[in-house]
Copies of this chain bind each other. A is one copy, B any other.
């Protein structure tokens, strides 16, 4: 028997927050507003935002990602024993609309376009948040679809959220490469049936649930390893 190289994916779907956009870039503004607390605030904010997506999904009480992001911020500030005045809250929320993109993104998206591989986003973010982020980064011409989980009223890792990608692209899940920097998202996507790449930028341990992503990498460039040159 000869091991066969699997066919290259027919499309690439990216997670947005943490994967294309650096969610910890808000830490700089948080540090300016709350000296000595920036990193902790950014971490608690992110963790709580994600926790809230799961609680509302599990309990069948979907609320927009923007609202959950604001709720996470309020929790994080309270957790540090700080007080969030309305002006600071708006500045931090506005910063979340304009997250930095990771530097290698453009080159990878352009390389996919050059190969005529459709690229898309599938994100927990609301449609409007995603539209602003994609436009700010200048990625609109490089993405065929920007898919929010909103129509499913469920957040990832609920299969109803992931199912929006194959349905929108018209490509079977296993023929889609799903790319995420969030270990839990790479895991959920693998369970769902995507071919997966976990871009482990933070050097975290793998999730210990006996399912591994198809591949693990360290930058978005590792997407291109799935396509023969």
Contacts and interface: CB of A to CB of B under 8 A. Distances in A.
Contacts of A209: 52, 55-56, 63, 68, 71
Interface stretch (A1-9, A23-31, A185-193): A185-193
The residue in A54, A70, A188 that gathers the most chain B C-beta atoms within 10 A of its C-beta is: A54
Interface residues of A, number: 35
6 contacts: A57-B58, A58-B58, A58-B157, A70-B208, A71-B209, A75-B207
A158 B208 contact: no
A220 to B, nearest CB: 23
A191 B159 contact: no
A51 B204 contact: no
Contact of A51 (B72, B158, B184, B192): B184
A165 to B, nearest CB: 15
Interface string A45-88: 00010011011111111010000101110110011000000000
B187 A55 contact: yes
A209 B62 CA distance: 11
Nearest to A190: B59
Q: How many copies does the complex hold?
A: 2
Interface SS majority for chain A: helix
Given A55-B187, A70-B208, 13 more contacts: A48-B208, A52-B209, A54-B54, A55-B184, A59-B158, A59-B159, A59-B188, A59-B192, A60-B159, A63-B209, A74-B208, A75-B208, A79-B205
